Amino acid sequence: MLGESWASPEDFATLFQYFWYRDFPMDQKSTGARRSDWTIHTGIVVRNIADLMGFMARFESGKRKDAVMRSTEQDVVALEWEWEEKWGNEIKKLKNHKLWSYDKDSKRLLQYAVFITYRPTLQIDEVYKKVLEEWKDASWLLLLILIEIEESEELYTHREFTQIRMSKFHEGRYSELRSAPALPWRVPRTRWSRELK
């Protein structure tokens, strides 16, 4: 079994942020990215993270999770992402994940689960409250990646991303890990911040 220090939620959060900016589906002039572009982008980010962590990425796996990261021994991370502002049973699916294990050991657990979603800034507190309620009594930690949005008529999806917030939920509590600009060109002193000015 993997040590707890390998591929931690903090590692995932850091890699997600970097891969999120890489090959971003739009720029300041080409703003026509669609919902499918964001779904594909998220899948590519997840696959790249799995690759760097030494895992296999399995999509639409394990009772239709969006993705599972698997070691040679077992499922390590289960993932769901949801474009719509109201989500359905994504958190429940992550909480009740049926773990695949090479040796069929029923006592093994996921290392953690990841839920990626989009919400208007004004709904952030409501989202945290809902996740706390739905995640209580879960057997493993949840990493919530929340992409804040604001209405924008200039963008094809009518959503402008403002911030990425990443938080850990476990044992009835949550703690914020990090936040960063959601758009690459808003990250100061990077090459992206200089492009297309």
Backbone φ and ψ for 123, nearest 5 degrees, come out as -100, 5
Which one of 23-32, 155-164, 166-175 scores highest in mean pLDDT? 166-175
Burial class (CB within 10 angstroms; exposed 0-12, middle 13-18, buried 19+) of 78: buried
| Rounded distance between C-alpha atoms, residue 177 and residue 85, angstroms | 22
Q: Is 176 strand, coil or helix?
A: strand
**C-alpha to C-alpha distance for 134 and 12, rounded to whole angstroms:** 22
Q: What's the mean per-residue pLDDT of the chain? A: 87
Percent of the chain whose predicted confidence (pLDDT) is above 90:
57
Q: Is 133 left (phi over 0), alpha (psi -120 to 50) or beta?
A: alpha
What pLDDT digit, counting tens, does each position of 54-113 carry? 999 999 865 678 999 999 999 999 999 998 877 788 999 999 999 888 887 677 889 999
pLDDT of residue 155: 60
pTM of the model: 0.90
Q: Who wins on pLDDT, 5 or 125?
A: 125
